[in-house]
């Protein structure tokens, strides 16, 4: 109910799928709380879909019109907010642009759109002095956008490290806990509805990179080109790596990281990436299980802040969309980027692979013969990489004949833990190692996430 003074806030919702249905349920079930918080009614006037004949998870709200004509939302003078929950880039981008040009606030859950067309959409929203809400676009129900934009606005942020893709985290958790291989764990994720029929964006790390890109803009107000983020996904993670990681007291996680170098993203730079990494079991991030997401933000005043929650799903994602709608209903002035002035600000200096340092885990499948370790160590030394630990496992028995140009038999796995080395040096060393006659497969290479002390994981007794 309106309080008699404030007119209702009128929504046009584009999309009645997973998130659209969740939002409609929240608006219906939490109606009294929402009105109490905003002092006005939030009402849905129209819901846009592609197929009017499709069965829906819930009925459209009382008095709302189901339509397949975007103009019913965009050209309706009563509609204050265009809520974009259809996904994809072309149509969604066109509708969001039209909505802003028509003077409507926009709320979206679409990270792909903002990663691809964010610059023009943020600029248009700023020019029109309208809200562009996107809390739901990163980590579903976790309020990470608000945390960076508002709660930690007084801090200079040093780093963001997180698990931003629930599908890949679910797959890695299944591989860890149940000993499944990648294909079986992916199938399980699809059966449980955690993975799309086409899961490629999730497992190749690009979905996580899109979210990281948005978080970097929010944290530092600088443009770090999406295409510059080095991304590797989880398809190369094997049960053997999960097992060996455990021997080092670690879990394998798809980690997103962004770190400020120096005091300023323009002069110092930002180091960022998405990759599988060994995470010490003592760290909270290692304990993020199943389809959950988590983000750890390090501020120079607040210290370490850790957020954990559901990264997807109808109600968690709908909750974030609803929070953005409530800001508009409360007449909070727009602060879409968290920074004053034009957006994006100057480009960040991109910290490249030569300046990006981490310890690394390497796994090589090698012929078990004298001199192998000596030659491997020599290649690493040539690239100024220092070894912290080496273990040999005689569990890579190979009965098939070796490929042309390669020595056999292949009976050993060499597991190497390096001290900090640049990504560039490790990449070059791995390329050189792959070319050695006794190294059969492309070596596996993961970063190792360390804490502030930089202490390396140690082999457990009895491993």
Ligand X SMILES: NC(=O)c1ccc[n+]([C@@H]2O[C@H](COP(=O)([O-])OP(=O)(O)OC[C@H]3O[C@@H](n4cnc5c(N)ncnc54)[C@H](OP(=O)(O)O)[C@@H]3O)[C@@H](O)[C@H]2O)c1
Between 108 and 337, CB nearer to ligand X: 108
- The alpha helices in 221-363, defined as continuous H runs, are 239-247, 314-329
Under rule CB under 6 A, residue 18 binds ligand X: yes
Under rule CB under 6 A, residue 16 binds ligand X: yes
Tell me the DSSP string of 178-199.
H---HHHHHHHHHHTTSS-SS-
Residues 6+ apart with CB under 8 A from 209: 115, 226, 229, 231, 256, 274
Between 111 and 217, CB nearer to ligand X: 111
Strand order in the sheet with 387-393: 303-310, 292-299, 157-163, 250-260, 270-280, 444-449, 360-367, 410-418, 387-393
Tokens of 250: 């670690």
Under rule CB under 6 A, residue 86 binds ligand X: yes
* Given 313, 318, 338, 359, the residue binding ligand X (CB under 6 A): 313
Under rule CB under 6 A, residue 293 binds ligand X: no
Between 91 and 389, CB nearer to ligand X: 91
In the complex, what is the shortest distance from the CB of residue 55 to ligand X, in angstroms, rounded to a whole number? 10
* Stretch of 30-38, 43-51, 157-165, 272-280 lying at the interface with ligand X (CB under 6 A): 43-51
* Residue showing tokens 């067309």: 117
Helix and strand numbers, DSSP H then E, in the chain:
14, 17
Under rule CB under 6 A, residue 12 binds ligand X: no
Tell me the DSSP string of 20-78.
HHHHHHHHHHTHHHHHHHHSS-EEEEEEE-S-TTS--SSPPPTTPEEES-THHHHT-TT
Q: For ligand X, what does the binding mask look like between residues 114 and 153, x meaning CB under 6 A?
A: ----------------------x---x-------------
* Given 2, 8, 17, 281, the residue binding ligand X (CB under 6 A): 17
Under rule CB under 6 A, residue 167 binds ligand X: no
In the complex, what is the shortest distance from the CB of residue 37 to ligand X, in angstroms, rounded to a whole number? 23
In the complex, what is the shortest distance from the CB of residue 142 to ligand X, in angstroms, rounded to a whole number? 11
Give yes or no: 211 in active site. Answer: yes
Under rule CB under 6 A, residue 273 binds ligand X: no
Catalytic residue among 128, 211, 253, 310: 211
Question: Which residues 197-256 are close enough to bind ligand X by CB under 6 A?
Answer: none
* Given 54, 192, 282, 354, the residue binding ligand X (CB under 6 A): 54
* Residue showing tokens 């292949």: 410
CA distances from 174 to 138, 178, 361, 364 (A): 23, 5, 21, 24
List the beta bridge partners of residue 66: 47
CB count in 10 Å sphere of residue 341 = 8
Under rule CB under 6 A, residue 109 binds ligand X: yes
* Given 20, 61, 118, 143, the residue binding ligand X (CB under 6 A): 20
CA distances from 109 to 83, 92, 119, 309 (A): 9, 11, 16, 17
* Stretch of 18-26, 262-270, 295-303, 381-389 lying at the interface with ligand X (CB under 6 A): 18-26
Between 87 and 457, CB nearer to ligand X: 87
In the complex, what is the shortest distance from the CB of residue 152 to ligand X, in angstroms, rounded to a whole number? 22
* Stretch of 45-53, 270-278, 287-295, 455-463 lying at the interface with ligand X (CB under 6 A): 45-53
Tokens of 91: 């149509």
In the complex, what is the shortest distance from the CB of residue 144 to ligand X, in angstroms, rounded to a whole number? 12
Under rule CB under 6 A, residue 322 binds ligand X: no
- Check: CB of residue 289 under 8 Å from CB of residue 172: no
Q: Is residue 455 classed as helix, strand or coil in its secondary structure?
A: coil
* Stretch of 148-156, 263-271, 309-317, 369-377 lying at the interface with ligand X (CB under 6 A): 309-317
Count residues contacting ligand X (CB under 6 A)?
22
Phi-psi region of 331 (alpha: psi -120 to 50; beta: other; left: phi over 0): left
**Which residues contact ligand X by CB under 6 A?**
15-20, 48-51, 54, 85-87, 91, 109-110, 136, 140, 312-313, 317
Hey, which residues are catalytic here? Answer: 211
């Amino acid at each position: 109910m309106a309080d008699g003074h404030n007119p209702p806030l009128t929504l046009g919702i584009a999309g009645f799928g997973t998130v659209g249905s969740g939002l409609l349920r929240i608006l219906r079930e939490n109606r009294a709380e929402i009105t109490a918080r905003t002092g006005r009614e939030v009402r849905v006037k129209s819901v846009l879909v592609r197929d009017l004949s499709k069965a829906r998870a819930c009925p459209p709200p009382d008095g709302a019109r189901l339509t397949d004509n975007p103009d019913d939302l965009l050209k309706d003078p009563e509609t204050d907010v265009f809520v974009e929950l259809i996904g994809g880039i072309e149509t969604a981008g066109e509708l969001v642009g039209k909505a802003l040009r028509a003077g409507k606030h926009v709320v979206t859950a679409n990270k792909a759109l903002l990663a691809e067309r964010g610059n023009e959409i943020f600029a248009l929203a700023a020019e029109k002095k309208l809200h562009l809400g996107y809390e739901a676009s990163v980590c579903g129900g976790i309020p990470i956008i608000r945390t960076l934009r508002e709660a930690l606005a007084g801090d200079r942020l040093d780093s963001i490290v997180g698990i931003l893709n629930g599908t890949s985290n679910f797959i890695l958790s299944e591989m860890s806990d149940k000993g499944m291989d990648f294909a079986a764990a992916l199938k399980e994720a699809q059966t449980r509805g955690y993975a799309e029929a086409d899961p490629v964006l999730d497992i190749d790390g690009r979905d996580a990179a899109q979210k990281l890109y948005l978080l970097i803009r929010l944290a530092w107000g600088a443009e770090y080109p999406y295409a510059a983020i080095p991304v590797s996904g989880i398809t190369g993670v094997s049960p053997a790596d999960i097992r060996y990681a455990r021997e080092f007291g670690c879990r394998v996680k798809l980690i997103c990281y962004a770190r400020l170098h120096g005091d300023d993203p323009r002069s110092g730079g930002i180091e960022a990436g998405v990759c599988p990494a060994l995470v010490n079991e003592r760290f909270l991030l290692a304990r993020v299980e199943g389809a959950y997401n988590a983000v750890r933000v390090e501020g120079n005043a607040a210290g370490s802040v850790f957020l954990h929650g559901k990264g997807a799903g109808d109600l968690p994602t709908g909750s974030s969309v609803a929070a953005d709608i409530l800001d508009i209903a409360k007449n909070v002035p727009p602060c879409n980027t968290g920074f004053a002035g034009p957006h994006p600000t100057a480009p960040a200096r991109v910290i490249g692979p030569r300046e990006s340092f981490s310890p690394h885990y390497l796994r090589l499948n090698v012929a078990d013969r004298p001199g192998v370790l000596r030659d491997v160590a020599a290649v690493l030394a040539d690239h100024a990489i220092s070894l912290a630990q080496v273990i040999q496992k005689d569990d890579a028995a190979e009965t098939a004949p070796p490929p042309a140009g390669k020595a056999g038999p292949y009976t050993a796995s060499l597991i190497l833990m390096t001290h900090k080395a640049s990504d560039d040096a490790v990449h070059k060393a791995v390329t050189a190692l792959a070319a050695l006659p006794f190294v059969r497969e492309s070596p596996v290479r993961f970063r190792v996430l360390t804490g502030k002390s930089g202490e390396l994981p140690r082999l457990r007794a009895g491993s």
